[in-house]
Amino acid sequence: MRTNGILRVIARFLIPLIMLFALYIQFHGEYSPGGGFQAGVVFAAAWILFALIYGLDAALEVIPERAQFVLACLGVLLYCFVGLLGVILGGRFLDFYPLLDSPHAAQQTGIVAVEFGVGVTVAACAMLFFTFFARRKRELDAAQAGDGD
């Protein structure tokens, strides 16, 4: 699809907007419907659109598979770290009150951090799904062709 002019122009216009919208949903999850899951999926959708139009190899240069894997684990680790931070600072696991002084600010900070961790994990995992499924066809053809079928 790289050669299709209309798709390229539209994609070049839309992909940054979609990523920006994903960040908007992520951080405005407290004030309007949104939050971590939606933002992660929309961000992954932007990356998948890039992969569909410019090819999987180009997309894997932007966010390589190793990075997707590491980000997925880091998101969950961030979540657990915030929880343990509550324990270290004197409360219970995932208790947000000990994090800051004012209870409202502490809860909001905790919620933003936790949702960010979830968003990163969901985005990375959705990208991982697409990467592995989309490569399978190529590997299958290579396996069959390489043995003179």
Partner 1 sequence: MAWLGHFNYWVVVILMMIGFYAVIARGNMVKKIMGLNLFQTSVFIMFISAGKIIGGSTPVLREGVTVYSNPLPHVLILTAIVVGVATTAVGLALAVRILEAYGTIEDDELIDPAEQSPDETQPGMSSGKGDSSA
Partner 2 sequence: MTVAVAVVRVRDLFSAAMLFAIYSLLSAGLFAVLDAGDVALTEAAVGAGISTILFLAVLTLAGREERPARGKNRLALAVVVVTGACLIYAAGDLPDFGEADNPVQVHVAPYYIEQTYADMGIPNMVAAVLAGYRSIDTMGEAFVILTAGLGVVALLSVPPRRRRRGQKPTKSEDDS
Q: Which residues bind partner 1 (CB under 8 A)?
A: 31-33, 35, 37, 122, 125, 129, 132-133, 136, 140
Beta strands in 42-139 (DSSP E): none
Q: Which does 79 bind (CB under 5 to 8 A by kind): partner 2, partner 1, none?
A: partner 2
Q: Which of 13/133 has CB closer to partner 1?
A: 133
Site for partner 2 in 102-141 (CB under 8 A): 103-105, 107-108, 110-111, 114-115, 117-118, 121-122, 124-126, 128-130, 132-137, 139-140
Q: How far is the CB of 106 from partner 1 (least distance, A)?
A: 19
- Residues 118/83, Cβ–Cβ less than 8 Å: no
Q: Is 145 left (phi over 0), alpha (psi -120 to 50) or beta?
A: alpha
- Residues 42/18, Cβ–Cβ less than 8 Å: yes
Distance CA 95, CA 31 (A): 21
